[in-house]
Amino acid sequence: QGNPPPPLVEPEVVRIHIEADGAILWNGETVAGLAALEPRLAAAAAQAVQPELHVRPDRAVQYDTVAAVMAAIQRNQLTKIGLVGAEQFL
């Protein structure tokens, strides 16, 4: 009969919210700017199964802030990224 397939591991979801004033929240917890975001991203990238990142920018936030967060995500080589509610930027 063969072996059953391994169970699917649901990836962790990390919600990164960018407030209108540029504040960054990691799963609801305020992060002290990009400098504090980087180590969290590095730790996430080091996990055996990388988490999915759901980035939700506030409608009123400056685009530069969103771009800086996305650049930090790329620098840390995280690949499972979704922009949530970002239609206003497209």
Share above pLDDT 90 across residues of the chain, in percent, rounded to a whole number: 78
Tell me what pLDDT residue 33 has: 92
What stretches of the chain adopt beta strand conformation (E)? Answer: 13-18, 24-26, 29-31, 52-57, 81-83
Write out residues in the chain with pLDDT < 50, as ranges: 90
Q: How far is CA 61 from the centre of its chain?
A: 16
Tell me what pLDDT residue 10 has: 75
Tell me what pLDDT residue 4 has: 72
Closest CA to 51 of 10, 6, 9, 13: 13
Q: Which helix (H) or strand (E) holds 72?
A: helix 63-75
Tell me what pLDDT residue 34 has: 94
Q: For the chain, what is the mean pLDDT? A: 90
Tell me what pLDDT residue 2 has: 66
